[in-house]
Every structure is written in C-alpha cells, then in structure tokens.
C-alpha cells in the first residue's frame, strides 16, 4: 500500500529502523512507563465514581498478547487499593510499588500467547506528578476530567502506558444521575438505576493510553453539526452555551477544511467539553477535546486552539508517535493546521503566520533539536513554533500540489497507526523532485534556526 521510497540514511538516528522489532525498546524519555514485552489490544473498564468524596472503584479487563515468554509482566497503575488480580481467570501473585503493578501469573506465558488480565481496584484518584504539573485524573469543583499526556493514564486505570501500544476500549462509568459522562467514542447505552446512571462507551479505533479520557460534570449538550457531516457536540455548563455556540460556530467549517487538506476525519464523532474551570491549556483525546472556561471569548488566540485540538485527531490521535521523542510530528502538524485554517478562513496566510513564528524564535535561545528535543523541552513552545515552520519549509520545497498530496497520504497510509520521524522524512522524500536531506538536517537535527523559507 505504502509506496515508500528507499530510505535515505538518517545521519543522527543510526539505531532507528522501520522494520517491526520483536520487542520494542523502552520509551527513551519515559523508560519506566510501559512494558514492551506484551501488547494490549482491548481494555474493558467498568468504573464507579463518586464526585463528592472523589472515590473511584472498578474493574479493568485487558486482552493482551505476550511478545516474548513471560514469567512476570508489569502494568502501570498509581496508588490504589488492589482487590484481586486474575490472569486468564486465575488468581495471580503481584506487587504494587512506585506506580508499577508487577504480576506473576500462576503459569508462565509463552511467546505469542493471548491472555487476559483482570484487576479490581479502588481509591481516591489524583494526578500523577510531573514537571508539567499534575497529569491524568483531576478532581474538579463539581466533577472530574482526565488529561494524561504524556504519562497520566495510570492515575485512573491499569495500563501498558506506551503511546505505541494502541488498543480498543469499552468504558462504563457509573456516577450520580445529575452528571453527564463524556468518553471518546460511541455511547452504547445509558441506564439509570435508583440515583445513579451508567454510561457505556465503545471506542472502536485503536487508541493510545494517554488519549483515553473521561469528563464528568453538569454539562448540557450543544449540537454543532449532525449527520451527514461528522457529528460534533459540545458539552458545556448551562450558563456558557451562548458563548460556546459563538466561539465554536466555525468548527464545522474547520472540520470541512481539514478533511479537504488531510483526508477523512479518522473517527466517528467529535466531542468538545468545556470544563467549568480555568485550565492551563486545552487537551486533545481520542474523538474529544477538553477546554477551560478561559478558552472561551473569541479572537485568534482562542480560535487557533480550536483548530489545533481538532487537527490532533489526524496528527497524534490517528497517526500516533512510536515514542515521545517524535512529539514534533504531533505538535508541528497541529501548529501548521492553525496556520492553514487562518489562510483558508480569510485570515493572514500560512506564510505570514510562519514569518511571525520565525521572528519570535529568532529572539529566543536556539538550543532545541526538534527531532529529539529531550524530555525537558518536549512541550516547549519553541517546539510547536519550529515544528510548524518545518512543515512550512516542506511546503515551500515541495510546492502546494505535492505538499498537500504528501500530507493527505501521510494521514491516509498511517491511519490508526504508529510512526516515527524517519517514517515521515522518508515519506516526504517520495514527493520531492530534489533530495530533502539538507532541509531535514537543518530543521530537525541542528539547533540553530534556519532562515525563513520563502
Ligand atoms: Zn498540541
């Protein structure tokens, strides 16, 4: 399917290969997260959440395959009280320390064996601490939300916390009936018993653990677009439905713009939650984006965030990074999507936006290597700006026709897949009439800012 050209050597990545390895390496930025010796293909979570006491209890059932023979394996899970752990229905021994649930099945697993794990757990979920603040499950004044990027998922469910280990999900959440529960995917059933309601969602598309989300709050649904377009619904505090409709009124047009530029929207629906609090930044999840009340109010600085989060559905969520060192692929393409929306909606051109970003970067320290920024700089604003500029440089080098074919094919060939930077540079080379090695060397691997491409 993929007419991938012969790969040109990547001067700074001699160890990388696009051939599937039997056992993936640990994440270079988060070596303690995940266990590459097995893969999960499905999670079934049945959770009960009480917002007042912030109490979460539940059962997680994982269907997995051993990549290598396993006498023991590890799941990532923050501090919870563990009730039972079963492997293939039989009680298993385990230890639970420092965010790792290490499980020793009664019988060792053979390489290639399919197995199930069931974990019963209860506790008071709280965010995982990180240099970027709390990650994962966050209690709100009235409800809760989840924003896990990059390693917050273990704050609320046991998982193999690697972006490359994508799985399907069924998530059932029981909570007091006044609350609305939003999870990415299709709502299968909603059942009320006594004063509680159970919401069951199915996420059929392969999903990275950090992109699994739950929002619980007193929200009112606002339809932005219905079939035959991609259904788009806002979940918004009652008093903010007016401002929301004004600010997100252009989102269906953005959806159409991005479908034209990147190909069909990769999921069945798109939900936008406006949590009833101020949030530092909006966050993307699979088929969902979460904003704060401070992200309403109009103007380009807010509108660009709506475009950015929507673009992540293609870049990051559908086409996902193999490990966190490749994060520029998510953020550079989402940043460029902001500029593309500006250009196509009658605002300043992408070239003008790129010139602004270049001016900004020229006045800042130039010590960031975009293709491997290191954990400390992975969410640095310079990575976003330079990522957008790199995509812009590529557009200049390829010309519009080849550039947009390249972009659409990238999203199409790798739909619901996992990629790295070498995949992208090799893919782009297939659309160029001259070698791109110099361009990628300058933009991805050298810290100095190259001149603005004109
Ligand atoms: Zn982003």
Among all chains, which residue has been given the structure tokens 């605002």?
Answer: 347
Predicted confidence at residue 444, as pLDDT, reads 98
Residue 228's pLDDT is 72
**d(Cα 218, Cα 207) in Å, to the nearest integer?**
26
C-alpha 49 to ligand 1 mean position (Å): 29
pLDDT given at position 22: 62
> Ligand 1: distance of its center to the CA of 376 in Å?
16
CA of residue 100 to ligand 1 center, whole Å: 28
Q: How far apart are CA 160 and CA 74, in angstroms?
A: 8
CA of 94 to the centre of ligand 1 (A): 37
d(CA 94, CA 266): 38
Q: What is the pLDDT of residue 247?
A: 93
Q: What's residue 225's pLDDT?
A: 84
pLDDT tens across 3-46, in order?
343 444 344 444 444 444 467 899 999 999 999 999 999 999 99
- CA of 64 from ligand 1 middle (Å) equals 30
Give residue 330 CA to ligand 1 midpoint distance, Å: 7
Exposed e or buried b per residue across 296-331, where buried means at least 16 C-beta atoms within 10 angstroms of its C-beta? beeeeebbbbbbbbbbbbbbbbbbbbbbbbbbbbbb
- How many A from CA of 283 to the centre of ligand 1? 7
Rounded-to-10 torsion of CA 215, 221, 222, 226: 100
- Predicted confidence at residue 24, as pLDDT, reads 83
List pLDDT tens digits, range 87-108.
999 999 999 999 999 999 999 9
Q: What is the pLDDT of residue 14?
A: 40
pLDDT, residue 6, reads 40
pLDDT less than 70: residues of the chain: 1-22
Cβ–Cβ under 8 Å, residues 115 and 179: no
């Amino acid at each position: 399917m993929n007419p991938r050209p012969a790969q040109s050597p990547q001067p700074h990545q001699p160890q990388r290969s696009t051939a599937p390895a039997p056992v993936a390496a640990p994440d270079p930025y988060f070596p303690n997260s995940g266990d590459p010796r097995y893969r999960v293909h499905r999670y079934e979570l049945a959770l009960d959440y009480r917002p007042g006491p912030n109490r979460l209890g539940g059962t997680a059932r994982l269907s997995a395959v051993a990549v290598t023979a396993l006498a023991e394996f590890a799941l990532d899970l923050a501090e919870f009280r563990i009730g039972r752990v079963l492997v293939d229905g039989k009680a298993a021994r385990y230890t639970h320390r420092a965010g790792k649930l290490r499980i020793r099945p009664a019988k060792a697993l053979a390489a290639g064996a399919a197995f199930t794990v069931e974990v019963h757990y209860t506790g008071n979920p709280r965010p995982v601490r990180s240099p970027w603040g709390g990650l994962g499950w966050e209690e709100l004044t009235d409800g809760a939300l989840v924003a896990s990027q990059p390693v917050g998922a273990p704050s609320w469910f046991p998982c193999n916390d690697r972006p490359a280990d994508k799985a399907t999900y069924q998530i059932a959440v029981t909570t007091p009936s006044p609350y609305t529960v939003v999870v990415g995917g299709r709502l299968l059933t909603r059942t009320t018993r006594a004063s509680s309601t159970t919401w069951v969602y199915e996420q059929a598309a392969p999903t990275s653990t950090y992109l699994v989300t739950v929002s619980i709050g007193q929200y009112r649904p606002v339809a932005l677009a219905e079939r035959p377009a991609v259904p788009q619904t806002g979940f918004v505090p009652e008093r903010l439905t007016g401002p929301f409709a004004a600010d997100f009124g252009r989102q269906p047009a953005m959806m159409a713009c991005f479908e034209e530029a990147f190909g069909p929207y990769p999921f069945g629906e798109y939900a936008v939650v406006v949590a009833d609090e101020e949030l530092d930044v909006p966050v993307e999840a699979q088929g969902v984006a979460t904003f704060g009340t401070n992200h309403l109010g109009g103007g380009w600085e807010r509108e660009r965030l709506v475009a950015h989060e929507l673009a992540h559905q293609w870049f990051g969520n559908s086409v996902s990074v193999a490990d966190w060192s490749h994060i520029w692929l998510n953020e550079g393409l989402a940043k460029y999507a902001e500029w593309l929306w500006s250009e196509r909606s009658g605002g300043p051109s992408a070239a003008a936006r790129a010139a602004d970003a270049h001016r900004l970067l020229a006045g800042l320290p130039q010590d960031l290597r975009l293709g491997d920024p290191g954990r400390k700089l992975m969410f640095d604003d310079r990575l976003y700006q330079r990522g957008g500029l790199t995509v812009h440089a590529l557009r200049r080098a390829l010309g519009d026709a080849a550039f947009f074919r390249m972009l659409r094919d990238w999203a199409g060939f790798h739909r619901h897949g996992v990629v790295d930077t070498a995949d992208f540079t090799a893919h782009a080379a297939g659309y160029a009439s001259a070698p791109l090695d110099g361009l990628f060397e300058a933009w991805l691997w050298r810290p100095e800012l190259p001149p603005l491409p004109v």
